[in-house]
Chains A and B, each alone.
Chain A
Amino acid sequence: MKKTVAMTAMVLAMTAAAGAQAQQITGAGATFPAPVYTKWGEAAKAAIGLELNYQAIGSGGGQNQILQRTVDFGASDAPMAADKLDSGKLLQFPTVMGAVVVIVNIPGVESNQLKISGAVLAEIYAGKITKWNDPKIVEMNKGVTLPSLAIAPVYRADGSGTTFVFASYLSAVSHDWKDKVGAATSVKWPAGAGAKGNDGVSATVRNTKGGIGYVEYAFASQNKLTTVELRNKAGHFVKPEMATFSAAAASGDWAKAQNFAVDLIDRDCATCWPIVSATFIELPKDPKDAARSLNVIKFFDWAYKSGSAMATSLEYIPLPEAVQTAVRAAWHAQIMGPDGKPVY
């Protein structure tokens, strides 16, 4: 009998607790920032009592869901087109930035030993340079012994924001690539083989002698993959590391960017890593439930204020202070509740 009472009390207490923290917000979309959103979600639950339910279903899926308003916010790696944002009555803002790095598997070549220019990288992925001892690669790598090994380009087989960023870079550095292939979450690859996810790409590169692939930086650093140095627009070879990523992030012209869709690819600065990109959130400008919308804003406001260290620990680059301020201003100016008053 006592036991039953105790059990009932416990169940009641748990229900009450659940009721008290029923401040749940839901989001869906991009897989690239999913680790940091999850970490922020856990921390925010303890700090401000907001529970985030984030489903990493892919950027395209996230955009669909927020257009249909089945979630509180959508997330996408590629910025949404301006006309689509307008017709869907969505406000878009960035959360963090990330870098894409190039990994290789060449016997005898260590991390950051190999140097490649963007143009050569584009030719490799176009299937025009097929051997690692091609004169164009040897020329940039005096002192590195390169074997006569077939180059095996590996790409993401699943549609992904990482592919969008990488293909955007190849389009920026090669006219040929821009004309023939272009950039999207999946493209028509002229050569190579596909693998699923960052882990699939890295495992395929590791398995394939002569393999080359592209992954998010966090993935490469956590798994100690063999990265390469890239030549940036200013003509310098740069290592993939936090300093060069941050330089690229800081070089972006945020003030001029429409809908915060800033272009951080191939910036013209001496220390910039050339493949850096922001990831975005889409939030309805006309929320039906102002309280829920406010909770989403509160969550990201808190993440801007207190989440930078967590983002950095996961190898993401936090937003510059000035951009955060601009985003807050946009929240206030553009998101109106059903009563016509600003939500934030």
Chain B
Amino acid sequence: MSQAITKRPSNRGDAIFAGLARLSGLLVLVLMGGIIVVLFLGGLPAFKQFGAGFLISDDWDPVQNSFGALVPVFGTIVTAVLALIMAVPLAFGIAFYLTELAPLWFRRPVGTAIELLAAVPSIIYGMWGFFVIVPIMAEYVQPFVIDSVGELPWIGAFFQGPPFGTGILTAAMVLAVMIIPFIAATMRDVFDTVPLVFKESAYGLGCTTWEVMRSIVIPYTRVSVVGGIILGLGRALGETMAVTFVIGNTNRIATTIFGPGNTIASLVALEFPESETGSLKLSSLLALGFLLFVISFIVLAISRMLLKPGAKA
């Protein structure tokens, strides 16, 4: 594109615009690089002090100045993956219903509602989780499961302990609700892009709605669907406030399904105000931020790899 512009040097406006556009593009790279460098330099004292042990240590002891990243990294990945497992089928169902099954007059209000849900600030989800979901979990779900399944031999151990209501499972549930609108909205939009001719041909051959979905719509839109899921995963990985409210904020690896845990974003938000400049704790928090960056990057890279064969088609 830039070549086409340089061929017409007489047009000053185009040159200026091209320059500005290039600057904007560069700015993204510079910002991104800047953030990584700042996080890495800030976390350097922690990396130096603990070495590779920082990644595998489950210790987080501000009194002894001993910090490890295992618990928050574990919590971040487990909550995000659990949330995806719950959210993807639901989001798919919503998009499927809206594009193929719902009566036309009904699609617009539901579609708008989903877009609105995506715009709800995360603190609202956090409060909703804390004041609605957590009491339900603590009052009904967890005591019931603990008293019934928890008494069983072998598997009972995974379902024991006090019913706090908060914990990894609750956090994953709230996260799932938060990312459903993102994934559903993306899926609906891309399902709508499938040319009608394709679908009509399939219907003409006698395919059922599900067969059309499976053999025509999904293969056609696979790249964008995975993109939507990654978008949701990205939000789940970095979500802070909503998770902080409901995860139980404990720096131990949970041994039961209701056990409390912690995520990187949540831990950083909670501990940051009480960390002194130059302290090892602050450095460890910045190192955690760097790790979150790395995790997001790996997720992105994996999604790119998954998409490769499809991208050619």
Contacts and interface: CB of A to CB of B under 8 A. Distances in A.
30 contacts: A57-B273, A60-B274, A151-B162, A152-B162, A154-B164, A157-B270, A158-B270, A158-B271, A158-B274, A159-B270, A182-B64, A184-B62, A185-B62, A186-B271, A188-B62, A188-B251, A189-B250, A189-B251, A193-B164, A193-B167, A193-B249, A196-B244, A196-B245, A196-B249, A200-B245, A208-B163, A208-B164, A208-B165, A209-B143, A211-B162
A64 B277 contact: yes
B130 interface: yes
B138 interface: yes
Interface string A189-218: 100111110001001100111110000000
A208 B138 contact: yes
Contacts of B270: 157-159, 186, 194, 196
Given A58-B273, A188-B62, A193-B260, 10 more contacts: A57-B273, A67-B277, A152-B163, A160-B274, A183-B63, A188-B61, A188-B251, A203-B130, A207-B139, A210-B162
B252 to A, nearest CB: 8
Contacts of A154: 164
Contacts of A67: 277
Q: Which interface class (under 10, 10 to 19, 20 to 34, 35 or more) fits A?
A: 35 or more
B274 A207 contact: no
Nearest to A212: B162
B166 interface: yes
A157 B62 CA distance: 13
Contacts of A186: 62, 270-271, 274
Given A187-B63, A188-B62, A193-B167, A207 B135 contact: yes
B248 interface: yes
A307 interface: no
A3 B255 CA distance: 72
Contacts of A204: 134, 164-166
A327 interface: no
A181 interface: yes
Minimum-distance CB pairs A-B, first 10 = A159-B274, A194-B249, A157-B249, A58-B273, A152-B162, A182-B63, A60-B274, A193-B248, A188-B61, A193-B260
Interface string A208-233: 11110000000000000000000000
A241 B164 CA distance: 29
A59 interface: yes
Interface string B231-254: 000000000000011001111000
Interface in A158-188: 158-160, 181-188
Contact of B162 (A64, A150, A187): A150
Contacts of B273: 57-58, 60-61, 158-159
A63 interface: yes
A183 B62 CA distance: 9
B250 A194 contact: yes
Nearest to A188: B61
Contacts of B260: 193-194
Interface of B: 59-64, 130-131, 134-135, 138-139, 143, 161-167, 244-245, 248-251, 260, 270-271, 273-277
Question: Interface on chain B toward A: helix, strand, loop, or mixed SS?
Answer: loop
Given A193-B260, A194-B249, A207-B135, A188 B163 contact: no
A209 B250 CA distance: 19
A195 B61 contact: no
Nearest to B164: A193
Contacts of B250: 189, 192-194
A187 B134 CA distance: 25
Nearest to B261: A193
Contacts of B131: 203
B132 to A, nearest CB: 11
Contacts of A57: 273
A187 B252 CA distance: 12
B63 A184 contact: yes
Nearest to B135: A207
Given A151-B162, A152-B162, A204-B166, A195 B249 contact: yes
Contacts of A152: 162-164
Contacts of B275: 60, 159
Contacts of A195: 166, 248-249
A194 B248 contact: yes
A296 to B, nearest CB: 22
Contacts of B60: 188
Contact of A188 (B59, B166, B167, B274): B59
Given A207-B165, A209-B163, A188 B63 contact: yes
A59 B165 contact: no
Contacts of B167: 193
A336 B214 CA distance: 80
B244 A150 contact: no
A59 B274 CA distance: 6
Contacts of B249: 157, 193-196
A182 B165 CA distance: 28
A154 B164 CA distance: 9
A210 B60 CA distance: 26
Contacts of B130: 200, 203
A194 B64 CA distance: 20
B266 to A, nearest CB: 8
B83 to A, nearest CB: 20
Given A158-B274, A196-B244, A196-B245, A181 B164 contact: no
Interface string A133-166: 0000000000000000011101001111000000
- The winner among A152, A186, A189 for most chain B CB atoms within 10 A is A186
Contact of B274 (A58, A151, A200, A209): A58
Contacts of B139: 207
A55 to B, nearest CB: 11
Contacts of B277: 64, 67-68
Nearest to A65: B277
Contacts of A68: 277
